Structure 1
Amino acid sequence: MVHVPRRDAPPSVHHVAARAGVSLATVSNVLNHPERVADATAARVRDAIAALGYTPNRNARALVSGRTRSIGLVVTSLRNSLFTDMVSGAQAAARERGDTLIVTNSDDDLDAQAEHLAFMESTRVSGILLASMTTSRAQVEAARQHGLPVVYVNHEPEDVDACAVVVDNEQAGYVAATHLIEEGCRRIGFVSARPDLQPVARRRAGLLRAVAEHPGVALVDVDAGDIDPPGGTDAGARIAAMSVEERPDGVLGVTDLLAMAVVTELRAAGIRVPEDIPVTGCDHNSIAWGGAVPLTSVTQHGEDMGAVAVELLHAELSEPASSHVHRTVVLGSELVPRESTVGRARAVAAARAGRPSDPRRTEA
């Protein structure tokens, strides 16, 4: 005789097992390790789940296993489409693996980031993806000491041995600067701030490499004070106030938000973009793609970074800690020309030719 549990509460795994005529262990395997169960048996269990309307209790499972089928993602800013793209890519990749993605935003505040990491640990996530502007060594080491693997996204840790996925920011700066030089610019104004931030430093290194390869081209550093739009507004006003002889004849903003603010100030001063001063950004923020003068920029492949980060995390979770080798995946960058450097006609032609091919991917 098959014992059928009472239904005084929502359906449980016991009800599923009784209806399907299998053991509790078999139901557990269907939910957690379906590859261990014969197709016909797994189908019976899934039919029972559907008929009963059973929903697995993630909290109960976490108490047994110590972890949920969840991944934490802490981003530094959701105001930049690069990070929202990361969320999209990571969520799609997590869903394919049966995981749930939990997202928090630190707004570039290290104290808030620490609170979010603690929250992730309290929810018993399996691991954390950290899209930070810094290595945050102490915070990451604390999480790892509690058994949580951490994968860096958009930042290559310099003093922590961990997996990471980044875009080649030096290449991004090089590509953007080379484009301005090919457009005839000989005094490249680099509008930037926060040289302590890894993307800023690496984009400047790429710009310097491009300048060094072209005799007669000079770099004009323009300190914006901040990487947010107000810094670009101030930098743009200072550039517009320069004499024609001293001001840059091309501008590279280390972020698209800076570059977009520069464009606004130049046009307000009667300086044409791109006819008088071409302007390019460097991080492909979708907020700068429209407007009166759509901004040329460099791809950052946020969705790809998010998906690869999930891949790296699962690889680390599936391997013994003693044998796991941390690796860094580097994605390439491609220029996306728009009106701010090439004018409308050429921008339309470039758009019709199609977007760049898939990102070049290397590993270290």
Structure 2
Amino acid sequence: MASIGIRGVAERAGVSVGTVSNALNHPEKVSAASLGRIREAIAELGYVRNDAARMLRAGQSQTIGLVVLDVRNPFFTDLARGAEDEAVRHGMSVILGNSAEDSAREAGYLDLFEEQRVRGVLISPYGRIDERLRLLRERGIPAVLVDRASSDRRVSSVSVDDVAGGRMAAAHLLQIGRRRIAFVGGPVGIRQVADRLTGAREAVASIDGATLEVVPTAALTVTEGRRAGRALLASARMPDAVLAANDLVALGVLETLVVEGSVRVPGDVALIGYDDIDVASAAMVPLSSVRQPTELIGRTAVGILLEEAAAAQPRPRQVVFQPELVVRASSGG
């Protein structure tokens, strides 16, 4: 069945197309009698206004595209919530895309958002996308990096100092007397993971006799954390501390060490994660973690994006928040 357009409504109501348009957008300009007939016609015909077309004609969309690394990770769920709250405050909506740590899927969402002429794009990128974002900007679609600092100062970003976070987490483990630390997580090609590892290495290098072993994972998931936990159990010498690249990996490691290996946490192995997602405090051994202001990241990114969309000559901004160490039972808190 063909969709009903504004012309069909006008014919049914016995008014002009312009009168229907005014009824939809400026009802105060239409008489009560005409407005009543138009509303009756809309109800009878089942007319649904095409806001996408309307915004395209107006040259301005009311939607923002958001691409995250893994929608299963509560960190990105909270980030999206913050972005959505700020967007709604400005009468806008957010379309969410999950790249699933896949460059092709990431590129597909960027293509889709460009086709939809979104107001702008927020993205937590998987790979290097500086050139792609440059092309978006040239076509009038601003972009802001979220949860990753910009290496290209021409692109705005809202991030957390992950080098400081990794350093903070490793320093905590060293301060409680641990010397054989395993950093678990990956791929290291993800900038956030690489930065957290850099910070951990800096802390370990400052203490004589301390070592840092890297146990890479294929993804930042509980399943990969379990696999890494089994690798640790099978190693010739267990570490006395584990720093995981995020809380999901840490929870997988924790489950495997305690359930399959009968390892005492924190007695035998102290453990700390990253992100401080809600479930961290409810784990079988409450998880120490590095907290990020997740919803604030999303809200701030939307604010910057809308500023850039409205400016004739936008000036990119780099906002960097500081992380916070949260100590719980998994590291002796």
TM-score class, shorter-chain normalisation, is: 0.7 to 0.9
1:14 to 1:21, Cα distance in 2 relative to 1, 3 A: closer
Q: Is the 8 A contact 1:240 1:269 kept in 2?
A: yes
Count of residue pairs brought into register by the alignment: 310
Q: For 2:257, which of 249, 263, 266 is the aligned residue? A: 266
> CA distance change for structure 1 residues 276 and 85 in 2, over 3 Å: closer, same or farther?
same
Aligned to 2:28: 20
Kindly state the Cα deviation for residue 118 of structure 1 after the two structures are TM-superposed.
1.8
Cross-structure match for 1:299: 291
> Match for residue 109 of structure 2?
116
Structure 1 residue 312 and structure 2 residue 320: aligned?
Answer: no
Alignment match, 1:214: 207
Partners of 1:121 and 1:17 in 2: CA distance = 26
1:272 counterpart SS class: coil
Of the three residues 162, 165, 180, the one matched with 1:169 is: 162
Distance 1:16 1:145, change over 3 A: closer
The match for 1:328 is: 318
2:3 aligns to what?
none
Matches within 5 A, 1:8-157: 12-15=20-23, 20-21=28-29, 58-157=51-150
State which of 337, 342, 351 in structure 1 corresponds to 2:327: 337
Give the deviation of 1:96 after TM superposition.
0.7
Q: Which runs of 5+ in 1 are unaligned?
A: 23-47, 347-364
Q: Is the 8 A contact 1:284 1:300 kept in 2?
A: yes
- 8 Å CA contact 1:188, 1:252 repeated in 2: yes
SS in 2 for 1:274: coil
1:283 corresponds in structure 2 to 275
Give CA deviations for 1:87-111 in whole Å, capped at 9, x if unaligned: 1000000111111111121212221
Q: State the 1:17 CA deviation.
A: 8.0
- The Cα of 1:266 is off from its aligned counterpart by 1.6
Matches of 2:118 and 2:242 in 1, distance apart?
Answer: 44
Q: Distance in 1 between matches of 2:248 and 2:27?
A: 58
Alignment partner of 1:257 is 2:265:
no
Q: Which amino acid aligns with 1:306?
A: G
Contact in 1 for aligned 2:183/2:215 (Cα 8 Å):
yes
TM-score by length of 1: 0.76
Is the 1:298–1:336 contact (alpha carbons within 8 Å) kept by the matching residues of 2?
Answer: yes
| Structure-2 residue corresponding to 1:27 | none
Query: Residue 72 of structure 1: SS of its match in structure 2?
Result: strand
1:147 positional shift: 1.4
Instruction: Note the alpha carbon deviations across 1:32-66, whole angstroms, 9 max, x for none.
Output: xxxxxxxxxxxxxxxx9xxx799985234323222
SS in 1 for 2:305: helix
SS of the aligned residue for 1:330 comes to strand
Which letter does structure 1 place at the counterpart of 2:316?
H
Pairing of 1:175-214 with structure 2 (within 5 A)? 175-214=168-207
Aligned residue identity for 2:322: G
Specify the alignment match of 2:4 in structure 1: none
What is the RMSD of the two structures over their aligned residues, measured on CA atoms? 3.0
Q: What do residues 324-358 of structure 1 show as CA deviations (whole Å, max 9, x unaligned)?
A: 2211100110112222112xxx4xxxxxxxxxxxx
Q: Distance in 2 between matches of 1:215 and 1:150?
A: 44
Q: Which amino acid in structure 1 is aligned with residue 128 of structure 2?
A: T
Aligned-partner SS, 1:82: helix
Distance 1:221 1:114, change over 3 A: closer
> Aligned residues: percent identity?
33
1:111–1:63 Cα change, 3 Å = same
